[in-house]
Chain A
Amino acid sequence: MPEQLIFAMEVTLNGLMAGVLYALVALGFVLIFKASGIFNFAQGVMALFAAMTLVGIMDGQVPFSHLINAIFGTDLHHFGWHIPALLAIVLTTGVMVGLAWCVQQFVMRHLVNQPPIILFMATIGLAYFLEGLSDLMWGSEIKNLDVGLPQGINLWIDEVTFNIFGYGFFIDNLDIVATIIAALLVVSLMAFSQYTKEGRAMRAVADDHQAALSVGISLNFIWVLVWSLAGFVALVAGIMWGTKSGVQFSLSLIALKALPVLMLGGFTSIPGAIVGGLIIGVGEQLFEFAIGAPYFGGATQNWFAYVLALIFLVFRPQGLFGEKIIERV
């Protein structure tokens, strides 16, 4: 087999894995959009906030220590304990639920019935707020996140592919774990919305706010629930990306990466988010490998996804799996 083809296969596989991670972020967007029609720009910053909180809790960092030190001249930094990862994840989930409640109580409740674009801009404001808050709370330096996920090259795949092609593929263990977790997450979210009372209520709200209200579903509760779920998905995405490349500001930029995924897959479809993520992941890696790096001097990943989505949208404005857009005067 020609060498180029083997490389291309490796690149494709890696692209698939990256695509899963994009899809994970996109999933959070879809959840909120389906249930409340809000396009949540802050999803990426929520992932950053969740990951930072997780690290902070695990290492026993004192929240706002920098600020407290600056005001009172003290020298606080750590409580001096280490909390096991699982407990810390549970605690962080609690924090994200609290955040969801705050968002609903202080922001979204007051913006009911506003045009979607106003809500969108409000979430940009929320993104800025959260970014400042997470920096203020936990400090802005790059942190290592290790919750015990396996990392490094997967030797088994390396060996198998070496025996077949005479060239070992480099696949990160973390990517494989991420894929499995993402699949589990999607299945459990689907089961949740299909088989539980709250999940059904959520779908009812997504379908028609007023009809849902009239049969006695609490909109407030459902929206808090949805934001909490999105917060949890953000936490999972934050753990994955944080383990991969450290918890730092650039984590919030993955939200920008998830936007074309959404446009491709459609804002309202969970399978769309997955398929869109995979297409973008593979597409940008292959484009960089085949055209970007040899002819354009590389780093085409920055814009390829957007341009792909843009071209795609011109022909199918609702995305691959999105509901047909019907406009009335």
Chain B
Amino acid sequence: MFYREAGDFKTSYIDDGQTFPIRFDRYRFYAVLAVAFLVVPFIVGDYTANAILLPFLIYAIAAIGLNILTGYCGQVSLGTGGFMAVGAYACYKLMTAFPEVSIFIHVILSGGVTAAVGVLFGLPSLRIKGFYLAVATLAAQFFLVWLFNRVPWFYNYSASGQISAPEREVFGVAVTGPHTEAWATYLFCLVFCLGTGLVARNLTRGTLGRSWMAIRDMDIAAEIIGVNPLRAKLTAFAVSSFFVGIAGALFFAVYLGAVEVGEVFGIQKSFLVLFMIIIGGLGSIFGSFAGAAFLVLLPVILKLVGVNLLGFPTDIVAHFQLIIVGSLIILFLVLEPHGIARLWNVTREKLRLWPFPH
């Protein structure tokens, strides 16, 4: 009834090419933004921010990054954790070396550093394909984590080997360090999440995104029709790592505050983000958000139901979580390889015809 393009005439190219071509979609998007910026900051508490909202926003950024590489360009990466670590350590080094520069710029710069590292580790992708590449990205994962663990320069020779974020302010409000308010950190992450989401959405609709998808669908055929595989693959690695680096920087500086690299950015993190995009939907920006939300909420809900409601010991609930995540991955791959995003699309198609489907 509401959800249709009938009567929504586009009279200029700008109108025709806008991010959300359907009017209802557009208004829904504005409504979500309004709620996220104008309502949530006033009601958000410490627990909601730290347990749900911050991880959701940050993982969404990382999932968008990985989705560009895996979902759009077809290059499976298991090195997400390592690249997040690059972002975190770049941010730490920048924050301590240039305390007078705004944290906002630091986070973006650490994305840039990660992009450079990502391109470096993406170079073999020109020769290696499929799961050979997936395994090759594990090299990045293990090497980077080892590097940050063993080379003292990266953690400024601190005795514990940890890095911890000093206090930094944006417009006079602390967003990192021990004295932060929930709403400030939330808004800070939200701005980045919105920015990366918009950039990713528009990149994937344009020339670059189409060349990525051509490489994904069949790289040799794409090469023959004139897509430059070097350019496509390396830009995918660069853009993806840029986003993942931003996510890593936020994860360290805003969310955790102090990080021990092997624990936080280990191989489990790579798998977690990969699962987010499988469940959410490969090759979909909305899917990245959906997958991140799903896998952030799942442990919280399981804990609520399992520990608080049913009174199970926490370790059993943790084991169940593994089983459930594993089965969900298989279930989604068997039943709906395009994930939650595809389910949403099906609903949308139904909505377009509702209430007169024939």
Contacts and interface: CB of A to CB of B under 8 A. Distances in A.
A122 B328 CA distance: 10
B187 to A, nearest CB: 34
B326 A260 contact: no
A36 B127 CA distance: 24
B330 A107 contact: yes
Contacts of B138: 256, 259, 306
Contacts, number: 141
7 contacts: A111-B334, A121-B278, A121-B329, A122-B330, A135-B322, A298-B150, A314-B128
Contacts of B24: none
A130 B319 CA distance: 10
Interface stretch (A48-56, A112-120, A157-165, A221-229): A112-120
B257 interface: no
B139 A307 contact: yes
A303 B143 contact: yes
A124 B220 contact: no
B221 A329 contact: yes
Interface in B316-358: 316, 319-330, 333-334, 337
Interface centre among B124, B143, B221, B322 (most CB of A within 10 A): B322
A132 B134 contact: no
A136 B323 contact: yes
Nearest to B133: A313
Contacts of A2: none
B146 A132 contact: no
Given A128-B326, A263-B135, A307 B76 contact: no
A52 to B, nearest CB: 12
Nearest to B126: A314
Interface of B: 74, 76, 124, 127-132, 134-136, 138-139, 142-143, 145-146, 149-151, 218, 220-221, 224, 267, 271, 274-275, 278, 311-313, 315-316, 319-330, 333-334, 337
Interface residues of A, number: 49
Interface string A251-263: 0000010011011
Given A297-B150, A303-B146, A309-B136, A132 B220 contact: no
A122 B76 CA distance: 13
B150 A128 contact: no
Nearest to A106: B330
A contact face: mostly helix, strand, loop, or mixed: helix
A306 B133 CA distance: 11
B313 A310 contact: no
Contacts of A245: none
A127 B124 CA distance: 27
A26 to B, nearest CB: 12
B130 A128 contact: no
Nearest to B313: A70
A256 B327 CA distance: 21
Contacts of A124: 271, 274, 329
Interface in A253-298: 256, 259-260, 262-263, 296-298
Contact of A132 (B76, B143, B151, B319): B319
A296 B330 CA distance: 41
B305 to A, nearest CB: 14
B136 A118 contact: no
Contacts of B321: 132
Interface string A4-26: 00000000000000000000000
A327 interface: yes
A127 B127 contact: no
A220 interface: no
Given A117-B76, A132-B326, A317 B132 contact: yes
A241 interface: no
Interface string A226-259: 0000000000000000000000000000001001
Given A120-B134, A126-B330, A128-B322, A302 B146 contact: yes
Given A128-B323, A297-B151, A303-B142, 15 more contacts: A70-B312, A70-B316, A120-B76, A121-B76, A124-B271, A124-B274, A125-B330, A129-B323, A129-B327, A132-B319, A132-B322, A136-B319, A136-B320, A307-B139, A309-B136
